[in-house]
Structure 1
Amino acid sequence: MIVYYRDPAVEVTSTAIHIHDRVFQLGDLEYVWHREITADPRSMRRMAGRGALNAGLVVGAALTLLGLIYLVATTVGDSGAAGRVLVPLAIVVLLVGLAGPALEWTLHRLDHSYDQGIAMHEIWAVWRGRELLLLRVNDEARFGRIYRSIQRALEQHR
């Protein structure tokens, strides 16, 4: 037996598709297809969160740039300002150094939201003569892996 895909909820093998506690023998499947349906509220929240992360990154970068421009501008005309600028500049450097992990987390969440997509994906099959919804997934990357594994399993089975 060959395992084409496995995660905690789905396993696709050369003989059957296991989805949660249900088992569908490949020989019982006449036809398998997929479709994309309207996004659910969780997907819409994920899209709103993605927009907020994008806006936060742009606003944070703009504020940092404006702060640095202000610090430089205050030292240009005033020779005694160098001492007054060193403390805020040290704070800015410290904050930029600490922002690395926060920025890494933010960019990871942003990448993850793009990987998941915003649509719901369904895998349908004609099983023993009737149409049946096998799986509904809102993670686009996971859906693609599962559907491709089902296609490979069915190709090899036939």
Structure 2
Amino acid sequence: MPKKFAVRTSILSKSWRHRWTLVTNLDFDDIHKVHGFDVLSKFVDRVLEFCQTPHVKLFRLKFSDRYYWYRMSSVSSWIDKAVRLNVQELDIHVILAQLPASLFTCKTLTKLSIDCESHNGRVWRCLCSVNLPCLKTFDIAVFDKPHENAFKLIRGCPVLKVYF
């Protein structure tokens, strides 16, 4: 059930009031652009603040609409909170992103997909050591020092499945 419907169920009954906080898929890809960044930011912050599940199966940020210009620190903070919620699958599609160091040492991450647009061609750099012991698949564009960053990522993923 999409999160917006899960939240709506809280008005049906007092016993259902906080059920939405147990949702394991946090999928933020259906926010309409008329709401603006401030409304969106508050919504994502509140969902992550009240999320009570010990493990998040999927955390998706998909805001590719050019009308959205996110603060990179907000996206970084949301990813960091997802890591703290023991995220298994992380799917990021935003215009700009600054990846937190905690992402590169997430013990529960099994699937990682990052698709970021940038005007200067520098999407992200792997500045810290990588230790992703459960990561099996990833889909990332490496623009800045591709050989150095890609190999650093691959070395830190011992169970990575390689497909040709």
> Given the two structures, how large is their TM-score scaled by the length of structure 1?
0.18
Name the structure with the higher helix share.
Answer: 1
Name the structure with the higher strand share.
Answer: 1
Does 1 or 2 have the higher relative contact order (CA < 8 Å, sep 6+)? 1
> Given the two structures, how large is their TM-score scaled by the length of structure 2?
0.17
The structure number with the bigger radius of gyration is 1
